[in-house]
Structure 1
């Protein structure tokens, strides 16, 4: 693949490899006819599906079952001005088979909050795309760096 303006498109295999490098991504779905985005921990399953573990009572779990969703994960190095971003688009389904739920529990994917009843959501990777960013040779933009103390 070729670099253009510091960006290079990633092929599907590269995208899937990059997804194994980070534990957090974002799911984008529709909730009550509006876009919703949530950070989630995730894992890739044997068939390269994105798998999330959440509360069975969560609004997100019910909103995404059977729906087409987007999932995005990335990693950036601000100092080097480089990084990558991968997007997976596909149909999300709640995993209802008890045997499959036990197998996914054994993989070690855990919810970050304690839940009384968990649910696994699988996103089939129908479209997988990504970009790799190479740092600019002359440094970053000229905007000043704000700190949290500067926020009103």
Structure 2
């Protein structure tokens, strides 16, 4: 097990993807009017890519189309003092191919915010890093 200078376990890419697949909520970081913005989103993984379902015309959809974004998900147990965090950076794109949209529509991505969410953002992690603390 490889540790960083703070004593946290450094996770391999495959472990990062496994952990991302284990949780439904993460945070996407993007630029909104030249300022950093963070938005919680529900997501799913498909073939190693992060898929977010949003509404057409949403601020998020407009801001991330064909841009570089960051994504983060984590889980912590405050009683046992254990947890993990995974961060990804990569290009986001809007799914526009009808076949791809049909495939993404079948993912277990039930929107938790009100309104119609039939627009998909796909991010391919180019940089992926993770840390875990265990008791």
Q: TM-score, normalised by structure 2?
A: 0.93
Aligned to 1:39: 40
Q: Deviations over 1:67-93 (max 9, x none)?
A: 000000000000111100000110000
* Inter-partner Cα distance in structure 2 for 1:61 and 1:14: 28
Q: Would the aligned equivalents of 1:6 and 1:134 in 2 still touch at CA under 8 Å?
A: no
Aligned to 2:25: 24
Aligned to 1:134: 134
Aligned to 1:148: none
1:1-152 alignment, distance < 5 Å: 1-4=1-4, 5-46=6-47, 48-116=48-116, 118-135=118-135
* Inter-partner Cα distance in structure 2 for 1:2 and 1:108: 34
* Inter-partner Cα distance in structure 1 for 2:115 and 2:98: 17
Distance change >3 Å, CA 114–CA 98, structure 1 → 2: farther
Q: Which blocks of at least 5 consecutive residues in structure 2 are unaligned?
A: none
Q: Which has the higher strand share?
A: 2
The root-mean-square deviation of aligned C-alpha atoms, in Å, is 1.3
Aligned to 1:140: none
Equivalent residues, number = 134
Q: Which blocks of at least 5 consecutive residues in structure 1 are unaligned?
A: 136-152
Distance change >3 Å, CA 74–CA 21, structure 1 → 2: same
Q: Would the aligned equivalents of 1:57 and 1:117 in 2 still touch at CA under 8 Å?
A: no
Q: Deviation of residue 117 (structure 1)?
A: 5.5
Q: Would the aligned equivalents of 1:86 and 1:130 in 2 still touch at CA under 8 Å?
A: yes
* Inter-partner Cα distance in structure 2 for 1:101 and 1:109: 13
Q: TM-score, normalised by structure 1?
A: 0.83
